[in-house]
Structure 1
Amino acid sequence: LIYDSFAQYLVTEKGYDKELLNITPESLDFCCKGLVFDFEDGNFLKLAEDGTVLRASHGTKSMTSEEILETYGRREWKHFSAVSGMLSCSAKYYLYDNYFDLPGALLCARVVDSLDQHDGQKKYDFWKDMVAAIQHNYKMSAFKENCGTYFPGVKNDPDKYLQRCPESVKKWLKQLKNAGKILLLITSSHSDYCRLLCEHILGHDFEDFFDIVITNALKPGFFSHTPNQRPFRTLENDEEQEALLSLDKPGWYSQGNAIHLYELLKKMTGKLDPKVVYFGDSMHSDIFPARHYSNWETVFILEELLGDKVVVPAETESEPLEKKGKYEGHSPEAPYSVSKQWGSFFTDSLPGLGNAEETLLSTWSCKCISTYSTIAIPSLEAIADLPLDYRFTRFSSNNSATAGYYPSPPRVLLPAEESVSVK
């Protein structure tokens, strides 16, 4: 649906090739989190933690090791310092780091293919049209106006696109609230769309699960902006009202900033330094800014952990069976499959020539996980059955790159980690 929303706009409004509207299930294999799109060259890149290029494609077509070495060498990619400073997009590139964005990556790659075929271009200048397609489909008034393809599609058939929340997760949310925790929902979606999603996923009583709901939060700016730059606003009939000088009580708000929110949390908890644990699935919009600007604990929801065979650590005395979470001891059905074109999200081998021995490197995406997340989990369901006082091992506990993965690290990361510790 997301792909169609953008493709329809490019074809009908901007005159792109109608062929873009046809998409095969196999082509979705191109979608892989952590890719960087270099606008000018029309190339998608998978980066190592040191910024070198591990794999690349021109449009949808994979580049060979020879082409990668010829184009990028073994040196840091030219915009890596900006990317690693967590600027997810600039005039030169865009970082695809969550599933909501990914269909756009496939569309951009196919646009490059199409332009090559018809125009033989060397430099590409279509990103502004992609931005226009995004604006058209997702602008704040789009839901109300039934504008574009995306919102009408979800409204007409929510069951087709939305999964209902498992009962175990609802029960967990209630347990947290009953234990005196303050629950927040912070989303960049506008209030009308958020309401549709939550009613469908959690039920019509979804507001009872949360003390504070913040919509149109415009993350990561929610964390990085000052109260003056991004004040909270009240809502009436999904229309934003005047700016608030501070947050005085729990409720439903729009926009806002983490500083004023934290002041309210101090007031509500009666603590000078309340601890916030923030769950998110985007490194750029959720995990990095919450850790970097607000110093919150961060739980990274990483479906890629489901694509890996779960390695169950040996029983330890400190963990009796009743404290086992949902996924320990048996492999879940993997709803997630590893991209054949791009390989593992976590590691890859350096492009080598001929018979050169392959060197396995962690990806930049993998490095970010252990740097900015407190822990990483495959889903909320994976921890919902654990006792509320369950003690997770943090990534920072012994400076381990794998300690914070629950229930266990991705298999691809284990051999290297173990061989390092043996030395």
Structure 2
Amino acid sequence: MDSSSRFSSPSSSINSARGIFCSQSLNLRSISAIGYDMDYTLVHYNVKAWEGRAYHYCMENLKKLGFPVDGLTFDPDLIIRGLVIDKEKGNLVKADQFGYIKRAMHGTKMLSTRAVREIYGIELVDLRLEGRWVFLSTFFSMSEAVAYMQMVDILDDGVIPANLGPFDYKGLYKAMGVALVAAHVEGRLKSDIMSNPEQYVELDPELPFTLLDQKEAGKKLVLITNSDYHYTDKMMHYSFNRFLPGEMGWRDLFDIIVVSANKPEFFQMSHPMYELVTNEGLMRPCFKAQIGGLYSGGSANMVESSLNIHGDEILFIGDHIYTDVNQSKVHLQWRTALICRELEEELKTVAATNMDNENLSQSMQKLLDVMQILDVKIAPMLEADGDLFNKRWGYLSRADLWDKSHLMRQIEKYADIYTSRVSNFLYYTPFMHFRSQEQNLAHDSHTNYCSRVDKFPSNGKLD
């Protein structure tokens, strides 16, 4: 891409909804290879359509088992990414960066602040307790969460037939999960999507040129996806080939392609690797990947060995905070980037509600003089500001008026950089040096106001 088409300067994009945000300094000049996830990373779906279809098949399977699900519909506004299911209590909760629960919903009904305090007190969300907590880390979690919360309402109403057996909230989650998994395993869902990709895939014309830009800059590109070859080929062909020059196809962008990767185990241990040798999916065992090859299974160590590139020379970009970002960093010390499409809407919402700096300073001084009035009148206004993003849960990045959300804490801890979509890289040079913001301590500031209003992000930036 011509440099004149990029942002005039990196700083001019920092407040943009299409900007790239830095948690830990990252110099792209030191990156020799860039790995990509596919689903919701290189291929973005219409969430309402894709998850709505998954929900449809889940409910269809539950109905066959005898659950009274007639009349239920998919409501994507019921949840946001980063929430946590409490399988013991049938609740959906939003936790802050420390794990304290700030908001909660039982079934499809939001709980009052007092009820949340009475139920959870100072209890912490501990994601290591997988028997209780389920973290909603991707868009693929939406159909699961909506179906479960609606099923909780049905259980509470006492209308589940006795012959299906007694259920507690944890058992109900298991039954719902089996029905949802069946919807995927049966193949009907992906068959629908492959047959009508235009209904489910949101095209991004800049995306193929982003990868071409990186390739021309000398970066090795690797695709690592859990999807099978036939689905991957269909989605990538539909999303990329129409925008690529000449006879170039999507496979020409990548030095190595790995399908059915079985992440996160792909980053943790070695599995047999197979080379796909025909378009019909015929495979043969192999022990080392070659440049230009197409493979199924294997491991990240095999990819490193084939490219002769290791550790922090590799940047991996994906949408799943655990499967893509956490595991590649923890086990391999790869550098990481998280794709979080919701940032675009959130940052636009923040910008639309911001006061300019001059008005803010004047207002702050007045509010400092009338603190008691501030607490009564302004706090509800600030709380309502987050409702513009989601009326139930507020901003994705915040758990309360001032606190970062549990998801935001994970992003800052494991993702070196994060952005709303891969094509945002097109607006930066492939040799960009992303520098994290200066981390000030509380006692560093000599003009530290006591007002809680001073902590509210008024400039559209995520902390």
Calculate the TM-score normalised by the size of structure 1.
Answer: 0.75
What RMSD over aligned residues (CA atoms) do the two structures have, in Å? 3.0
Q: Counterpart of 1:38?
A: 86
Counterpart-to-counterpart distance in 1, 2:438 and 2:219:
28
List aligned pairs for 1:278-317, cutoff 5 A.
278-307=316-345, 308-309=347-348
Counterpart-to-counterpart distance in 1, 2:287 and 2:70:
51
**Which of 427, 431, 436 does residue 385 from structure 1 map onto?**
427
Q: CA shift at 1:213, angstroms?
A: 1.1
Q: Report runs of 4+ in structure 1 exceeding 6 Å deviation.
A: none
Could you give the per-residue CA deviations for residues 295-354 of structure 1, whole angstroms, max 9, x where no partner exists? 111111112221223769xxxxxxxxxxxxxxxxxxxxxxxx7221111111132xxxxx
SS in structure 2 of the partner of residue 348 of structure 1:
coil
Could you give the per-residue CA deviations for residues 1-25 of structure 1, whole angstroms, max 9, x where no partner exists? 121121222112x2211325x316x
Counterpart-to-counterpart distance in 2, 1:274 and 1:364:
26
Q: Greater Rg, structure 1 or structure 2?
A: 2
Counterpart-to-counterpart distance in 2, 1:3 and 1:297:
34
Counterpart-to-counterpart distance in 1, 2:326 and 2:438:
20
Q: Counterpart of 2:405?
A: 363
User: Is contact 1:28–1:106 with CA below 8 Å preserved after alignment?
Assistant: yes
Query: Structure 1 pair 111/374, CA: closer, same or farther in 2 (3 Å)?
Result: same
**Which of 173, 192, 196 does residue 157 from structure 1 map onto?**
196
Instruction: For CA contacts below 8 A with separation 6 or more, give which structure has more relative contact order.
Output: 2
Counterpart-to-counterpart distance in 2, 1:272 and 1:74:
43
Tell me which amino acid in the other structure corresponds to 1:70: E
**Which of 307, 324, 338 does residue 265 from structure 1 map onto?**
307
Are residue 59 (structure 1) and residue 107 (structure 2) matched? yes
Q: Counterpart of 2:263?
A: 219
**Which of 217, 220, 225 does residue 179 from structure 1 map onto?**
217
Query: Structure 1 pair 107/273, CA: closer, same or farther in 2 (3 Å)?
Result: closer
Q: Counterpart of 1:134?
A: 180
Counterpart-to-counterpart distance in 2, 1:284 and 1:254:
21
Query: Structure 1 pair 31/414, CA: closer, same or farther in 2 (3 Å)?
Result: farther
Percent of aligned positions with the same letter in both sequences? 23
Counterpart-to-counterpart distance in 1, 2:416 and 2:139:
21
Counterpart-to-counterpart distance in 2, 1:286 and 1:127:
25
Counterpart-to-counterpart distance in 1, 2:299 and 2:203:
29
User: Is contact 2:274–2:297 with CA below 8 Å preserved after alignment?
Assistant: yes
Q: Counterpart of 1:47?
A: 95
Counterpart-to-counterpart distance in 1, 2:251 and 2:81:
31
User: Is contact 2:402–2:455 with CA below 8 Å preserved after alignment?
Assistant: no
Query: Structure 1 pair 123/102, CA: closer, same or farther in 2 (3 Å)?
Result: closer
Query: Structure 1 pair 35/243, CA: closer, same or farther in 2 (3 Å)?
Result: farther
Are residue 234 (structure 1) and residue 234 (structure 2) matched? no
Counterpart-to-counterpart distance in 2, 1:113 and 1:272:
50
Q: Counterpart of 1:16?
A: 67
**Structure 1 segments unaligned to the other structure (5+ residues):** 84-89, 313-336, 350-358, 402-412
Counterpart-to-counterpart distance in 1, 2:458 and 2:183:
47
Q: Counterpart of 1:321?
A: none
Query: Structure 1 pair 214/238, CA: closer, same or farther in 2 (3 Å)?
Result: farther
User: Is contact 2:329–2:336 with CA below 8 Å preserved after alignment?
Assistant: yes
Q: Counterpart of 1:5?
A: 57
Query: Structure 1 pair 249/94, CA: closer, same or farther in 2 (3 Å)?
Result: same
Are residue 118 (structure 1) and residue 166 (structure 2) matched? no
Q: CA shift at 1:415, angstroms?
A: 4.1
Q: Counterpart of 2:133?
A: 93
Q: CA shift at 1:131, angstroms?
A: 3.0
User: Is contact 2:81–2:137 with CA below 8 Å preserved after alignment?
Assistant: yes
Counterpart-to-counterpart distance in 2, 1:281 and 1:81:
18
Q: CA shift at 1:400, angstroms?
A: 7.4
User: Is contact 1:240–1:254 with CA below 8 Å preserved after alignment?
Assistant: no
Counterpart-to-counterpart distance in 2, 1:272 and 1:293:
12
User: Is contact 2:329–2:414 with CA below 8 Å preserved after alignment?
Assistant: yes
Query: Structure 1 pair 248/111, CA: closer, same or farther in 2 (3 Å)?
Result: same
